[in-house]
Amino acid sequence: MSLNFRFPAVLLCSSFLILTFSCKEQPTPEDRAVGLIAQMSIEEKASLMMHTSAAIERLGIPAYNWWNEALHGVGRNGKATTFPQPIGMAASFDEPLLEAVFTAVSDEARVKHRMALQEGESKQYQGLTFWTPNINIFRDPRWGRGMETYGEDPYLTGRLGMAVVRGLQGPADAPVLKTHACAKHFAVHSGPEWNRHSFDAVVSERDLRETYLPAFKDLVTGAGVQEVMIAYNRFRGVPCGANDYLINTILRGEWGYKGLITSDCWAISDFYHPGFHEYSPDAAHAVAEAVHAGTDTNCGSSYKSIPEAVKAGLLDEADVDRCLVRLLAARIRLGELDGIDPWSGLGEEIVEGPAHRELAREMARESIVLLQNRDGILPLDPSAKIALIGPNADNKEMQWGNYNPIPEQTITLSDAVNVRIPGLVRFQGCGHLDEPYTGVPEMDPETLLKRLEGVDIVIFAGGISPRLEGEEMKVEMPGFKGGDRTDIQLPAVQRRMLRTLHEAGKKVVLVNFSGSAMGLEPETQTCDAILQAWYPGEEGGAAVADVLFGDVPPSGKLPVTFYRSIAQLPDFENYDMKDRTYRYFGGEPLYAFGYGLSYTSFKYGRAKVKKDRIIIPVTNTGDRDGVEVVQLYVRRPEDTMGPKKTLRGFCRVTVPKGKTVKAVLPLTEETFLGWSEEKGDMVPLSGDWELLYGGSSDNLQAVGIRRKDNKK
């Protein structure tokens, strides 16, 4: 397709402007931006640097709103396909499928943006710049926004985050970018929610470089992410939006990042808001600090004080221009400033169309993790007398998660199971998540058991919901505080219900819906099978039923550690990695990172190490075909202060029953990244290494190698 840029007349070889290109050369986006900026007042410049970017009609610049969301579908703008919450998609360990999901999301984004323009609109949630993915490390299961992330491991987060960027943005070298992705929240941010506007995250340089920054570096240097969002918190005393070490030394300096930096929403006002950081005396000083550091876009309105800061001598207008060049060049590369849309051929029918709904179902299937299956109760026999109860059995909004679209169709577990078993016994009147909100009383055990007379197997759809965990929420009830959790157990009413069912001799299958790890230790005794279903999107009910009845084998693996209780967790506000995540935890978890059962069994053979790869034989020793996620971890025996092990590779393999498949994982310099005190960073290290492989982080075989001169 030919792309014909429409330039404002003032930029076309004007003898009145001194530009760096000749009349025969096409100007770069940066050249065009410089020419436009030269004609603006400081007030006009400031108006372009807030998320509600004003129109400057005399220069041909339309209004634009930078704020849009696509966490797991084009969010907060009506109809769009709702995929599983990111923490669930992380459980798939499936990079290609995740990229396909976000390619579908960006297809829908282009269609919805075009539809808005046709209506003459440029509102919030209608643009092409998406503030996703959230690649913060889910270091503590109490964090309410952990469900937006890809788990607790830096390598997994980086690999999946890059797949998201590729799907959203399209080819990095394309003349027009499809959309923007945004790596957030930079940096060292993962709760608590209640103090994020005043919290100072202080960590060692090793934890910073080894845990909190690798995924950001991957997205910047490996995927060309176009935006980075600054976090609310301070880092070592300085708000992230003004933090020279994070922004200029590391992000723009060491990593060579050329893209946009945006503040989180109203984060700049946190600099001076009473009771928050109190880092700056007023708005003018705050915006001067942020713009000088290189925060290009302000989600909020603090940047309206830019003219005041310049007039007072607090800020050099050259700093403003430098930010604005990046902003305008980005809009040009999106085709937004010129009305260019290479995706105009995409029809409106693709938005939540059959192909994308099937993709949502496929991803939801792969996200489901089988945690327990006592005596092979799963897959279920449809001829059994089955009941479906629990607060999440028919809860559409729970399935949508947060930062979500509003799908036109949602298949709940009740919908899906009822189709398979027309005589299904089902009711909602028990196990309520949020009794204070619903006012629905708990069903007494006698009534419950009477309604379940003659039932052999009870599917209990329990867990929690996005009404209780999420971003800075006004939730104060036992176990929850401001969007975070103060406990990780199931709600007490559900625990009582499951115990009642067990003591009555019922077989119980718990389907746990949550955006975070749950302390399910009592449920390992009261339940015969446990499925972790996360917040599975609009096709989630169908996907869970597909797994429950054996249409597809369970293949998800945990992207976070499931602890037994909060007694195993350090102080939530302590960001040190000691005793956190599978990489440093010294206790025995309930379910380990990377854990997940199948309806068959796998045996790992002796791996062979070649020059640039490891070959791992996996045999299906059961009587069903299955899918296994093969995992590769590394450990440096001499590094006694480092991780006990750390993920460095994974792949999904389909293994027919009775067959052996060889999984091949690459060994690169990245495989052997380790902390160097001398370099103050993660670098490829020589010496003794152990390669650990298997189907879970707690069930591994080892191969020792010695790496010399940066070669295996």
Q: What is the pLDDT of residue 440?
A: 53
pLDDT of amino acid 328 = 98
Structure tokens belonging to residue 675? 């902390």
Strands 602-604 and 613-620: antiparallel
Whether 357-584 shares its CATH topology with 602-707 is answered no
Q: What CATH architecture is 40-343? A: Alpha-Beta Barrel (3.20)
Cα dihedral 304→309→311→315 (10° resolution): -120
Cα gap 581→563, rounded to integer Å:
9
Catalytic residue among 95, 469, 539, 546: 469
> Cα separation of 120 and 95, whole Å?
37
Q: Which candidate in 148, 153, 218, 264 is catalytic?
A: 264
CATH fold for domain 602-707: Immunoglobulin-like (2.60.40)
Cβ(709)–Cβ(686) below 8 Å = yes
- By C-alpha distance, which of 515, 348, 77 is closest to 356? 348
Q: Residue 698 catalytic? A: no
Whose CA is closest to 408, among 174, 198, 108, 208? 108
pLDDT score for 26: 87
In this prediction, residue 443 carries a pLDDT of: 84
Q: Tens of pLDDT along 368-393?
A: 999 999 999 999 999 999 999 999 99
CA 154: distance to chain centroid?
Answer: 12
Total-model pTM: 0.95
In 361-392, which positions are buried (b, 16+ CB within 10 angstroms) versus exposed (e)?
Answer: bbbbbbbbbbbbbeeebbbbeeeeebbbbbbb
Class of domain 357-584: alpha beta
In this structure, how many other beta carbons lie within 10 angstroms of the beta carbon of residue 117?
Answer: 15
Domain residue spans in the chain? Answer: 8-38, 40-343, 357-584, 602-707
- Separation of alpha carbons 121 and 136, rounded Å: 33
Whole-angstrom distance, CA of residue 490 vs CA of residue 514 = 10
Place of tokens 């909602």: 428
The one-letter code for the residue type at 685 is L
Give the model's pLDDT for residue 282: 98
Name residue 303's amino acid. Y
What's at 193, amino acid-wise? Answer: E
Q: Which residues of the chain are under the pLDDT cut of 70?
A: 1-24, 428-441, 709-712
Residue 317 is a catalytic residue: no
pLDDT for position 430 = 58
